[in-house]
C-alpha cells in the first residue's frame, strides 16, 4: 500500500505565560561581567548597551504582540526526512501573469524572521508600487535546528542535506520548478539546490559567495581573487572567533547561551551590529523590538546550540563539493554593508553569472534592513525566468 501523501499542517504557536515569566526572572537576575572603561564594542558586545537592551526585554518588550504579528503569516509544519519542518507558504495575491515559486534560505543568527518584511512585497508587488506581474509564491523554511523546525537528535545536517529537504518540500507543495534565493548559510543551500537539482531550479539568486574555498594553484587566480582570499583570511583572524567556536566546540558555548538570555542576546546582537549597514549603531538597522523578536525566537525554541552545530557539519563538506561550478543561471546582489564581498572574477569562475548588482544600502541582513531594495533585486533578477517555471 503506497504511503499517504505528506500534508502540511497549519502552525500557530502560542507561548505559555510561565515561559515568559521564567524569561523575565532570568533577565532580572543577570550576573553582569565587568568591562574596561570605554571598551565600547571593541571587545564584543557593548556592556552598557546590553544592559539597556536586557532591561527593556525584561520590563517593556511585548512578546505576545510580536508573536501575534508573526502568526499573521501563513505558517505550516510538515515532516520531511524524519524531522518536523516549519515554513511560511505565502501565495501570490492577484497575479497578473505567470507566478514564480521562490524558496528563500535564511542563515545564522536568524530564521524565517529574516524575510518577514519582504514576503508581502514579493507576493503582492502591486500593492507596494511595483508591477503585479512580478508576483511570487514565497516559501520560507526554518532550517533543521533553527526556529520552529525540529532539532536533529543525531549528527547535524549540512547545507547539502538541507538543499535536498527543500527540494522535497517544494515537491510536497506542488512546485516541480522554482527559483531559489538566500544569504549566509541560505546562500550555500541555494547553491546546492542549483547544483544537485538543476532540472528543477530555474535560476538562483545569492547575496554572497560564502567564505572562499580554493585548493588549486593560486597562480590560476586573478589579482582581485588573490586579494579577496587574503581579505577573507584576515577577516577570519579578527572577526571569525564565533565561527571557530561553532565549528569546533559548539556545545561548550551552548550551555551558557541556552541558560542565560542576556548571554544569548550578547552573542546575537553583536553580529546584528557588525554585519549590518548601520554605521556602528545597531538600532539604525533594527528596532529594539525587532532585535528582541529574533533573540526571543532563539530563546523560546532553545535552538542556539543546534543552530551552531550546523557550522561543524558544513566544515566537513568535502573540498570537491566546493569546487563544483553552478551552471544554473545565477545572480548576485552584493550589498555594501555585507561581510566579504567577492570579485566578479570569482563569481564567473564558480557560477554561470547572468547578473551582478551593487545596491546602494544594506548589509548581511538586507531582506530585513532594506526590504524594498531586496524585493526589487529579486523581481529584476527572476523576471526573465518566470515562464521557465510555469510553461
Residues marked as catalytic: 184, 311, 364
All three cell numbers of 338: 555585507
* Cα angle value 318/234/227 (rounded, 5°): 80
Starting at the earlier edge strand, list the strands of the sheet with 83-90: 9-10, 75-80, 83-90, 136-141, 100-105, 178-182, 201-206, 326-333, 351-357
333's enclosing H/E stretch is strand 326-333
Question: Which phi and psi (to 5°) does residue 141 adopt?
Answer: -90, 150
In angstroms, the CA 282 to CA 300 distance is 23
In angstroms, the CA 137 to CA 163 distance is 19
The answer to whether 106 and 112 have CB atoms below 8 angstroms apart is: yes
The answer to whether 206 and 381 have CB atoms below 8 angstroms apart is: no
Question: Which phi and psi (to 5°) does residue 194 adopt?
Answer: -70, -35
- Residue that has been written with the C-alpha cell 512585497 in this structure: 121
**311: Cβ–Cβ under 8 A, 6 or more apart, which residues?**
108, 243, 246, 247, 250
All three cell numbers of 335: 550589498
The answer to whether 361 and 335 have CB atoms below 8 angstroms apart is: yes
Amino acid at each position: 500500500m503506497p504511503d499517504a501523501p505528506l500534508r502540511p499542517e497549519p502552525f500557530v504557536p502560542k507561548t505559555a505565560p510561565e515561559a515568559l515569566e521564567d524569561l523575565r526572572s532570568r533577565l532580572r537576575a543577570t550576573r553582569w561581567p565587568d568591562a574596561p572603561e570605554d571598551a565600547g564594542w571593541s571587545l564584543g558586545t557593548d556592556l552598557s548597551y546590553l544592559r539597556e537592551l536586557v532591561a527593556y526585554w525584561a520590563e517593556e518588550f511585548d512578546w505576545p504582540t510580536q508573536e501575534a504579528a508573526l502568526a499573521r503569516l501563513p505558517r505550516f509544519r510538515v515532516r520531511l526526512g524524519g524531522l518536523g519542518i516549519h515554513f511560511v507558504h505565502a501565495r501570490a495575491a492577484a497575479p497578473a501573469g505567470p507566478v514564480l515559486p521562490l524558496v528563500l534560505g535564511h542563515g545564522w543568527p536568524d530564521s524565517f524572521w529574516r524575510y518577514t518584511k519582504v514576503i508581502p512585497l514579493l507576493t503582492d508587488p502591486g500593492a507596494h508600487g511595483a508591477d503585479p506581474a512580478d508576483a511570487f509564491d514565497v516559501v520560507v523554511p526554518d532550517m533543521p535546528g533553527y526556529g520552529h523546525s525540529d532539532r536533529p537528535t543525531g549528527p547535524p545536517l549540512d547545507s547539502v542535506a538541507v538543499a535536498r529537504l527543500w527540494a522535497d518540500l517544494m515537491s510536497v507543495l506542488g512546485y516541480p520548478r522554482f527559483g531559489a534565493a538566500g544569504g549566509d548559510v541560505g546562500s550555500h543551500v541555494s547553491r546546492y539546490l542549483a547544483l544537485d537539482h538543476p532540472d528543477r531550479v530555474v535560476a538562483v539568486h545569492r547575496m554572497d559567495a560564502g567564505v572562499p574555498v580554493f585548493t588549486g594553484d593560486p597562480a590560476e587566480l586573478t589579482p582581485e581573487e588573490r586579494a579577496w582570499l587574503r581579505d577573507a583570511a584576515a577577516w577570519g583572524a579578527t572577526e571569525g572567533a564565533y565561527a571557530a567556536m561553532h565549528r569546533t566546540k559548539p556545545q561548550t558555548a551552548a550551555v551558557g547561551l541556552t541558560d542565560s538570555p542576556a548571554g544569548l542576546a550578547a552573542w546575537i546582537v553583536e553580529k546584528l551590529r557588525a554585519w549590518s549597514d548601520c554605521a556602528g549603531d545597531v538600532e539604525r538597522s533594527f528596532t529594539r523590538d525587532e532585535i528582541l523578536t529574533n533573540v526571543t525566537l532563539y530563546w523560546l525554541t532553545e535552538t542556539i546550540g543546534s543552530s551552531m552545530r550546523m557550522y561543524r557539519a558544513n566544515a566537513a563538506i568535502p573540498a570537491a563539493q566546493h569546487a563544483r561550478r553552478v551552471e544554473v543561471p545565477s545572480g548576485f546582489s552584493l550589498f555594501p554593508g555585507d561581510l566579504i564581498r567577492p570579485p566578479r572574477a570569482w563569481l564567473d569562475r564558480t557560477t554561470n553569472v547572468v547578473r551582478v548588482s551593487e545596491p546602494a544600502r544594506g548589509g548581511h541582513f538586507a531582506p530585513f534592513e532594506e526590504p524594498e531594495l531586496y524585493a526589487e533585486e529579486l523581481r529584476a533578477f527572476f523576471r526573465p525566468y518566470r515562464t521557465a517555471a510555469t510553461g
